[in-house]
Every structure is written in structure tokens, then in C-alpha cells.
Structure 1
Amino acid sequence: MEFDRLGPEEDEEDEDDVATQYMIEQSLLESNKRREVHRESAAPDGRTSVQQGSDSTDTIFTAIRQAIRANRTDLVKLLLQHGSRVNQEGCHGRRPLHEASRLGQAELVNLLLGAGGRPDPRSNYGLTPLALAAQGGHLEVVETLLQRGADVMSQAHDEASVLYEACSSGDPAVVRLLLECGADANMETHTGHLPIHRAAHQGHLQALKLLLPVTSMEDVKDSGMSPLHSAAEGGHTHCIKALLDAGYDPNYMLHPWVRRSFDDERKSALFFTITNNDVPSAKLLLEAGAMVNQDPVKCLQVALRLGNYELINLLLRFGANVNYYCKVNTTHFPSALQYALKDEVILRMLCSYGYDVERCFDCCYGNRPHIPEDYEGWTNSVIKDTMFCEVVTVRWLKHLSGHVVRILLDYVDHVTLCSKLKAAVMEQQQWPDICRLQENARCLQHLCRLQIRRSLGRLRLRSPVFMSFLPLPQRLKDFVLYREDDREDDRRGGAPG
């Protein structure tokens, strides 16, 4: 004869049921023992001289909590019949109703309320059963608690409202019910966050759409942050689009007191998308008019660190300043080049968008030795205004000097190599080609391209709108933008301009 076998999940459920049953038995034994002590110690006037011990109280509460977690209505009834108090406090000040509401057990919630449970008990953190039910998105429990008089306007000790907690799960039915029952969408937490911030950060689009018409723009401004920042931080492109369509400003900057919580003191929603390497969200914000150069640490600098060609190209097309200077480790040449020394694609991309290449060959020493006669081991150039020749000739970058210089020469007229840079480049395989360019006059075609770029200016060169209306043949536009060679575009997956 074959016997039925329980699967692993059924075995676990059976073990949990046994453990729960054991806990209930112990609780009932404690309850009976307490009754006996009560009878034996009763005084003639009917008062007792023995108090209930905390250990037995904890045992009873643990038992009813275990029964609730197991969703055993019959056991909860049994415990309540044998003296378990429906409003008894447990760990962190939570009552049985807290546990049943958190788990969304509507039948047990009704049972506990019917047994005298208060609808609005608060835990040590100020959370009510309604807040926990809303947090879990348990619609039926929320309805029951509201019908029994639970306060829809209650706030926890951190001032988080029931509606704010509901935005954690983002259940649109729960959010709609709370709003219909009078929940205020403009109640902020102690950090200034509103329910709309929570919904945007969690990516709950339907809940967000319910909150948009009832959230005050003035209250959002008072919070010091936009829901766009929250949606961008969470990486939710669909929420960003909904907020932009609703009229939220893509250039609203974080208030200084909010910025201080970030080491980089970021300001814009765009910066959050760049740090997340989120190209679709960044594109959406840029197309909506987000300014790209507003943050203390430039968005382009972050994208260069990430090495994302598509993101770099996107920022450059929307006007990222390719000639920014980093506040830390200041160089004589624009800082972006530091991230492109080992990557030809990025290097050419920067140069095509107007990188100030001439600054790389600007050296105050020229043909003279780079170590002054009065040098004592420390100069200002160590910490400030470091020149290109000093950077590219260090031991771990020297092997790249020839390749980098050869590429840079494509974007300038005749330049002079200082003694230090020349000594390093002479050891590289690109030296013969560099000599050819330096010893001969540049071709007229190249000089014309440089002159046109100089006349247009860097801002116009990196403006796709301006270049599209420029009355020049497309072939000439491509030549001016260094796009005549498809090699670069194929490798980076996009074209400048």
C-alpha cells in the first residue's frame, strides 16, 4: 500500500501549525494557572494579593500573535475566551489588531474589533492598524477599520500620514478610498516628503495620477524637493513623464537644506538620472527643457566616469559644457579630457563638440626645462593649474601620449610641443606621423573647417536645432562636425549634432 506523502511546503506548514498549537497550549496552561492563583490568593474583601507576572503576559501575547500569523481564527477565538486581552500590548507597543491589519487578515480584524478591540491603538512608533493595512495595500481591512472609526488623518511619530504609508504599496484602490474619506495629500513627514514623493519614488503610476490633482504645487515647493527628483532617483521613467505632463518644472532645484544630505550637493532631477545611468529618463528630462550644467558636479563628468557613450553623446547634444573645470584637482586644460585619455571614441566626441584643444598645448615653459632652478620640491602646479604635458607624461600614462597628441592635432592648426611633451612623444610609434603634420603646412580643407567652427562658436556647434537650420549642404555640416568618417559614429552608436 502506498501512503500519501506531504511535499516540502506542506511539511513546513504542518510544522508551523504544530508550533502554533504548542504555543496555544502553553498559553492556556498559563491562563489556568493564573486563575488558580487568583482563587487561592483572594482576600475576604474580594481583592487579590498576587499580580499577573510579565512572563505569562508575554507568553499569552506571543501565542495570540502566532495564531494571527497562522491565520487561525479558531485559535484566536479560543485564546480570547480563556482570558487573552484583545488590547494587550506586545513588542514595540503593538496590539493583536496591528498584526492582523499588517497581514491583511480581514476576518481576524473583524473578530478582534468585535471582541472589544480599539480601532486606533498606536504602537511605540505611533503607527495605527490603519496605517499598517494601508502600507500593505489591504483594501478590505482598510475599509473595515475606517467603518469602525479609525482616524484617516492620524500620523506616526515621524509625521508620516496614513496616505503616505499607502503610497508604499501604491494600491490605487486604497489610495482612492483614503482620499474619498478625507485624507490630506499635503501632509508632509518630518523630512518634508509628501505622499506624491513616495508614490513617485516607488514607481506607482496609478497612485501618482490620483495624487496629482489633489497635491498643491505650493506645498511641493515648501518641501524643498520635486516629485521629479523622487521619480528620477527611483529610476521610473513612466512617473517622470506623468509629472512632466502635469506641469512639473524639470529645472526645479533641490533646496539647500535638502542638498546638504548629498555629498555632491546635487540640485537637479537630471543629475539623479545620470548617476543611475538611466538614459531614457535623462532623455525625457532633456527634451522637456532640463538644463544640463546646473549641478556643482557636472552631469557630463558623471557620464564620463560611467563611460556610457550614449549618455555622453546625449548630454553633449543638449548643451553640456565640454570645457568645464573640476573644483578638485584643477588643471590648466578642461577637466573632461582626464576621462578620455584611454578612449579614442570619447576623446573625439569631446573634441567634435568644441573642446578647447589649444589649452592642452599651452605650456608656460616652452622649450625650457620644466623644473625651475629654484625648485625645492613643491610648486603651485602640484595642486593647481596642472598642465597637460605634466599629466600625460607621468609614468602610467606616458605610453598614451603619442596616441592622444595625434588625435588632438586633428582639431587644431599648427601648435608647438613643449620640451617635456616632445620628449615623451618622441618615444611613441606615432612620432613620425606627428612630425609630418608639424613640419608641413596644414591642408586648406582642414584650415577652412577650423575657421568655420571658430566662427560658429562652441554653443552653436553643439546645438542640434541651430545646425539643422544652418543653410549649408548636409555634407559640409558633417565635415564641420567631424562626421565625414563613419567609423566614429558606428563605434559610439550615435552622431554629434
Structure 2
Amino acid sequence: MTTQVTVARNSQTGAINHEDYSLYSSMSEEELIEMAIEQSLTEGPSEPTAAKTASREQAVPSEPYYSQNFYLYPWQRHAAQSGGQTQTTSSGSPSGVWMRYDGSLFRTPQPEVPDPVVSAIKEGDEKALDAMMKSGKNLAQPNKDGWLPLHEAAYYGQAGCLKLLHKSYPGTIDQRTLQEETPLYLATNKGHLECVLALLQAGAEPDIANKSRETPLYKACERKNVDAVRMLLQYNADANHRCNRGWTALHEAVGRNDMEIIDLLVKGGAKIESANCYGITSLFVAAESGHLEALRYLAKCGAEINTQASDKASALYEACKNGHEKIVEFLLSQGADANKTNKDGLLPIHMGSKKGYFEIVKMLLPVTSRTRIKRSGISPLHMAAECNRDDVLEELVEAGFDVNATLSFERARLYEDRRTTVLYFAVANNNVYATELLLEAGANPNIDLINPLLISIRHGCLKIMKLLLDYGANINAYIASHPTTFPATIMFSMKYLAVLKFLMDMGCDGNSCFDCLYGCGLHPAIETRRDRYNDSLEEKQPHPVQFCEIVSTPEMNRWAGPIIDVLLDYVGNVQLCSRLKEHIDSYEGWVNIKKKAELPRPLAHLCRIKVRTVMGKDRIPLIDTLPLPGRLIRYLQYDFTH
């Protein structure tokens, strides 16, 4: 039945209408379909108008198996009424065109018609294949991917079809696909041994590589196909061919830990010392992967135990990095040098300490040079403390490593805070156990540019603070790169009043907080900064910052009163500067603080301050141990509850 369909464009909406069925009557059905699809794709969906909706509803037939939301062309209605068979255009191709809710058209996916040649090969139908060739069909023409029927036969493992095709087209035996894959490569990759043998016997070249420069032998090793490897080597496949990464078949076999293939390759001429583009040999691969049997075999064949990659990492270093205890033990037994550094100057013991491999570190201790460690600019103690490897840290301390070893300048500058000591790492990690271990072993808490005590204050860890102070940490620590007129310990604890009181109880100097350069005079305007004490250490402050400047910053001014209140309990007769008075006057609730600061201070308070001063800050923490009445001890400790 010839059907005439017209498609008109609404000039205002750009939508496709179906009112006029006469303007395009001279066009074929196929031309109309293609035009409708092109317009739909170009214009995109649009909102249907009332007129369009009405016309669509009139065009939809009343049969129950049609959706009322779709407009159907006559040939589509005919297809549905005749049992759902797909109608075709004049060219013989199925139309499959439908309309969406928004009026746009779409084509339903059509089933692919299988290639009869490929179908015959997949089924192993040699007779059908032979009949095609006798009928004059040329089976030496590649498809769009460069595949010949011969490739298909190798891929599907149809040896009979493969032999038939090769007999008819012998010149195609080594022809490549667009990925440069030969029939032999495809057969090897899929593990079709009969096809592999047939191709080799027919004279296929065994060393033609694909785009990644992977040969059939390399692929056989990757697939752990021993028979294919043996077959290829019998036909003189190159055992030393490199892929685009410099990887050889032996590298791949060692990486797969296939001992039978490794043995075949070595006996077939594979070079043991062949290195890839990163300088990695097969022995290095075995050590890195933890394959002990392969490592023993290669070492027995004379492989270099101290082989190093391009980054100077040795096989021993990689084994330590990956925690392969048996590999490390074997390498050391074969004379592996534990004092070879990588490009960063790190030794195997550094990596073992960083990873926390206790047994490996124990094996390395007797054979590692302390001089080499010192030359590296970093101690294994640093690595263990940084990564919280407490058992390794304890072992290294017991082995006599210097707990006061410092990072070299080049390594310290990698950290923004310029940390240098092992103790700093432990405190920065808030690791109480490691901190106590190092302090008991003699770690000095006053070496770093930023005192570890300041870090513990920032963390708010009273236990670590107490440990550091018990072992001599400077309670009045300053930061040289950020000078202040009062201790940095007070500055770091301002937002934590309980910590501030604890530090003052332990003897921190609070008098310097009230030594203002301007006194009761006019103070200059405060310079607003994002956070002047979190800036880079290279940014030097031209003048030491005063206490009144710190508490006047927007972040701290709401804390000014309580901070001053705590400090006044630990100082004698001091004068509040005009700026501090201004802060206290700004809040009605701080009136009592101003009264507390009035001179002179109470005699009982001044006596307590005097006694504590005479005792000295080193003995203040020991007040509990003094042979004094309990009431006096509580008085000296500011215990206001008694």
C-alpha cells in the first residue's frame, strides 16, 4: 500500500505538525522518514500546543494495543494490524520510526544481521565456508577493524576453518588487524593450542607484536599457558623481546610466579639481567612481589642480588617496603647490601621502620651502618615516630639509636613547622606512649624551634604536657620566629582556661603579660591579620607582640576578661595598661576583675607569690612532696575549695 505523508513545520513553534497531507505527496516514504528524523534531532523537543495535541489524538487509532500517547504513521499501523511484523521502506531497510510524547521522532534499534562468514566460522562449518569460496566470495578482504576470516578462525579456535582459509589464502597468515594483532597472537591470547600449532607449522612469524609491542610469547606468559610457551619457543620465538614498557616474557613470568614457564624461558635463552624502562630486572620483580621460589631460581642462575632500579631502590629496599620477611631474609643470606640508598637517600631500615615491619627491622639492625644512617639526614626513629610504629620505635631505642637525633636542614625544611627531633613527631601525633618512651630514654624536650610543649598545649593533652614538664620542658618557651613579650605557652593556651591555669600552677611566668610598652598612654591601632601566628615561619615580625595586642584581636577579645582573671591570681602588684582596662570596662560582668587588679593586692596573696618565687619553677610541681602541712600545700596550690 502506498502511503502519502506530509510533515509541515510550524513557523512559530518550530514543532512538527501533521495537518497537511498533500504538500509532500511526491516524496517517497524513506525520504519523508529521513527528513522527519533530521528535523527532530536538529530542533530538539518542544512543548506540544493544544492544536497539536488535538490533531495527535485524532490521528491515533482506537485499537487497544496502541498507546494513546503516540502518533503512528500509516505503515506503522499496518504493521501492528498485521501481527507486529516490521514494515520496510522502498530500500528494504526496516523503518522503526516512532514519535515521543513531545512530538519528536526516534528510531527503534534494529537487530544486527550476523555475518554468514563469521557465523560459519564460529560453528566450525567448513563445508559452508568452502561453498562460499567456491561461489566466488573473496574471504581475503578485511572488515572495518582489519579482521580477516582467518583472524576469526584463530580467535574462535576453529582449527579446521583456519587450515582451510590458510590453504586458500596463504599470503594472509601474518596479516595484522588495526590493532596489529596476527592470527597467531589471537590464538595464543585465547589459548587455542591447536590453532597455535597449525599456524606455526604453516610458517607464521612468532615475534610479530601488537600495538603495545606484546608478542604471542609474552601473551602466553601472561596467560600462564605453559604449553603455548613451549610450542612458541620450539619455533624459535624471541625470549628477549621487549614490550613498550621494556618488559620481557621473563619479567611477566616472574611476576606471575610460574616456575615452569620461568625455567622454559631461561633455558630458551632469556637474559636474566634484562631490565625494563625503569631499570627493573626479573630478580627485582620477584623481590618486589614476594615470590620466593622465583627469587631462589634466579639467584641460582646468577642474577645480581644488589640490582637497583632507575630510582636507585634496591631489590632489598623494595622487599622491605612491601613487608616480605622471607624475601628479606633470603636476600640478606645471599649478601644483599643493606646500606644501598635510593635516590632520596633512604635505606631499607628507614622503609621497614616507616611501615612498621618489626621482624624486618630486627633483621636489618645488625647489618645497617649507623654512619650511613647519619649521612641520610634522618633516623629510623623519625620514621617510626611519625607513623606511630611504637613496637619498632621501642626496638630501635633498645638498639641504642640516638633519641636526640635531628633531621638535616634539607629534610627539616620539608615541614612547615621545621620540626627536627623524634620527640616532636611523637608529640605532634599525640602519642603518649611514644612520648614517654623517648623521654625516659633521654630525649631533650627543648631542642626544636617550636617547643613540643606548645604542640601538646594546642592538642590540649594534659598527660603529655605533664610528661614534658616533668622531664624539663621549658614552661616559659618562646618562638624565635614569632617573638612575643610574654611566653608562647600562655599565648597557645589562651582559649583553654583550664590549660592556662594548669601552666600557671606549674610555674609559668605571668608577670610579663602586664609589662606593656605603652602603659596607661595611648596605644596604636591594632593591625588586623588573618592569624599572625599561623603564617609561614619565613614571615618575621619586626617587633615582639605584646599581651594586650593579642587579647585585642577579634578572635581573642571576648576571652580577655577570663584570661586576665586567671593571670592575676599568679602575679603580685601589677599595673593594667589602658587597653586592658578598656577591655574590662567593655563588659559589666568583668567588674570584679578590675577590682582584683586594684593596688595593693592582698598580703596573703603576695606572700603566696613570694613563696612560690623563692621555691623556683622547677620545684613548684613538687609541692606535694614537701614536708609541709596540708593546708599550706593547698594554699600554695591555689586550692580555693579548702
Bin for the TM-score computed over the shorter chain:
0.7 to 0.9
> For 1:437, which of 585, 596, 620 is the aligned residue?
596
> For 1:401, which of 560, 583, 592 is the aligned residue?
560
2:301 paired residue number = 148
- More divergent stretch after superposition (165-174 vs 63-72): 63-72
The 1:74/1:296 distance shift into structure 2, 3 A limit, reads: farther
Cα RMSD over matched residues?
3.5
1:265 paired residue number = 418
Matched letter for residue 422 of structure 1: K
Q: RCO (CA 8 Å, sep 6+): is it higher in 1 or 2?
A: 1
CA contact (8 A) 2:213 2:242 kept: no
Matched letter for residue 401 of structure 1: A
Task: State how far apart, in whole Å, the 2-side matches of 1:456 and 1:207 are.
Answer: 50
Alpha-carbon deviation of 1:228?
A: 0.7
Alpha-carbon deviation of 1:168?
A: 0.9
CA contact (8 A) 1:271 1:295 kept: yes
2:343 paired residue number = 190
Alpha-carbon deviation of 1:95?
A: 1.6
Alpha-carbon deviation of 1:352?
A: 2.3
Alpha-carbon deviation of 1:201?
A: 1.0
1:306 paired residue number = 459
The 1:437/1:248 distance shift into structure 2, 3 A limit, reads: same
Alpha-carbon deviation of 1:444?
A: 5.3
The 1:96/1:456 distance shift into structure 2, 3 A limit, reads: farther
> For 2:520, which of 341, 361, 367 is the aligned residue?
367
CA contact (8 A) 1:277 1:306 kept: yes
Task: State how far apart, in whole Å, the 1-side matches of 2:527 and 2:204 are.
Answer: 91
Matched letter for residue 58 of structure 1: R
1:241 is aligned to 2:394:
yes
> For 1:455, which of 594, 614, 631 is the aligned residue?
614
Matched letter for residue 350 of structure 1: L
1:317-354 CA distance string (max 9 Å, x none): 33222322224443222223333222112212222232
> For 1:229, which of 382, 406, 420 is the aligned residue?
382
Task: State how far apart, in whole Å, the 1-side matches of 2:244 and 2:233 are.
Answer: 19
2:533 paired residue number = none
1:210 paired residue number = 363
- More divergent stretch after superposition (192-201 vs 328-337): 328-337
Q: Give the unaligned 5+ runs of structure 1.
A: 1-20, 40-50, 487-497
The 1:131/1:29 distance shift into structure 2, 3 A limit, reads: closer
CA contact (8 A) 1:119 1:150 kept: yes
1:420 paired residue number = 579
Task: State how far apart, in whole Å, the 1-side matches of 2:184 and 2:386 are.
Answer: 50
Alpha-carbon deviation of 1:276?
A: 2.8
1:243-288 CA distance string (max 9 Å, x none): 0001111001123343344343322112222333333222211221
The 1:114/1:307 distance shift into structure 2, 3 A limit, reads: farther
CA contact (8 A) 2:486 2:547 kept: yes
1:224-251 CA distance string (max 9 Å, x none): 2211112112220110000000111100
The 1:218/1:362 distance shift into structure 2, 3 A limit, reads: same
**1:411 aligns to what SS in structure 2?**
coil
1:27 paired residue number = 185
Task: State how far apart, in whole Å, the 2-side matches of 1:389 and 1:376 are.
Answer: 12
Task: State how far apart, in whole Å, the 2-side matches of 1:190 and 1:71 are.
Answer: 35
The 1:460/1:78 distance shift into structure 2, 3 A limit, reads: farther
Task: State how far apart, in whole Å, the 2-side matches of 1:203 and 1:196 are.
Answer: 10
CA contact (8 A) 1:24 1:64 kept: no
Task: State how far apart, in whole Å, the 2-side matches of 1:476 and 1:73 are.
Answer: 89
1:56-86 CA distance string (max 9 Å, x none): 67142xx655554554444544554566432
Alpha-carbon deviation of 1:91?
A: 3.4
The 1:117/1:376 distance shift into structure 2, 3 A limit, reads: closer
1:120 paired residue number = 273
Matched letter for residue 341 of structure 2: E
**2:560 aligns to what SS in structure 1?**
helix
1:384 is aligned to 2:543:
yes
Alpha-carbon deviation of 1:34?
A: 10
Task: State how far apart, in whole Å, the 1-side matches of 2:212 and 2:200 are.
Answer: 10
Alpha-carbon deviation of 1:467?
A: 6.5
- More divergent stretch after superposition (418-427 vs 73-82): 73-82
Matched letter for residue 276 of structure 1: N
Task: State how far apart, in whole Å, the 2-side matches of 1:210 and 1:368 are.
Answer: 69
The 1:29/1:136 distance shift into structure 2, 3 A limit, reads: closer
Task: State how far apart, in whole Å, the 1-side matches of 2:391 and 2:310 are.
Answer: 32
Give me the TM-score of the superposition, normalised by structure 1. 0.78
> For 1:337, which of 490, 496, 507 is the aligned residue?
490
The 1:108/1:473 distance shift into structure 2, 3 A limit, reads: farther
Give me the TM-score of the superposition, normalised by structure 2. 0.62
Alpha-carbon deviation of 1:28?
A: 4.8
Task: State how far apart, in whole Å, the 2-side matches of 1:86 and 1:461 are.
Answer: 78
1:54-93 matches, cutoff 5 A: 55=210, 58-60=213-215, 67-77=220-230, 80=233, 84-93=237-246
CA contact (8 A) 2:290 2:319 kept: yes
Task: State how far apart, in whole Å, the 1-side matches of 2:477 and 2:495 are.
Answer: 19
Aligned length: 444
Task: State how far apart, in whole Å, the 2-side matches of 1:78 and 1:277 are.
Answer: 62
2:431 paired residue number = 278
CA contact (8 A) 1:164 1:198 kept: yes
Alpha-carbon deviation of 1:38?
A: 8.0
Alpha-carbon deviation of 1:105?
A: 4.0
Task: State how far apart, in whole Å, the 2-side matches of 1:111 and 1:475 are.
Answer: 89
**2:337 aligns to what SS in structure 1?**
coil
Matched letter for residue 188 of structure 1: T
Q: Give the unaligned 5+ runs of structure 2.
A: 1-154, 157-180, 189-195, 529-539
CA contact (8 A) 2:253 2:261 kept: yes
Matched letter for residue 27 of structure 1: Y
The 1:83/1:328 distance shift into structure 2, 3 A limit, reads: same
Task: State how far apart, in whole Å, the 1-side matches of 2:496 and 2:478 are.
Answer: 20
Task: State how far apart, in whole Å, the 1-side matches of 2:629 and 2:240 are.
Answer: 82
1:179 paired residue number = 332
Matched letter for residue 349 of structure 2: I
**1:145 aligns to what SS in structure 2?**
helix
The 1:97/1:401 distance shift into structure 2, 3 A limit, reads: same
Matched letter for residue 171 of structure 1: H
Task: State how far apart, in whole Å, the 2-side matches of 1:473 and 1:187 are.
Answer: 64
Alpha-carbon deviation of 1:207?
A: 0.6
The 1:192/1:38 distance shift into structure 2, 3 A limit, reads: same
Matched letter for residue 391 of structure 1: I
2:14 paired residue number = none
CA contact (8 A) 1:406 1:430 kept: no
The 1:108/1:317 distance shift into structure 2, 3 A limit, reads: farther
Matched letter for residue 447 of structure 1: L
**2:213 aligns to what SS in structure 1?**
helix
CA contact (8 A) 1:292 1:319 kept: yes
CA contact (8 A) 1:331 1:386 kept: yes
CA contact (8 A) 1:292 1:299 kept: yes
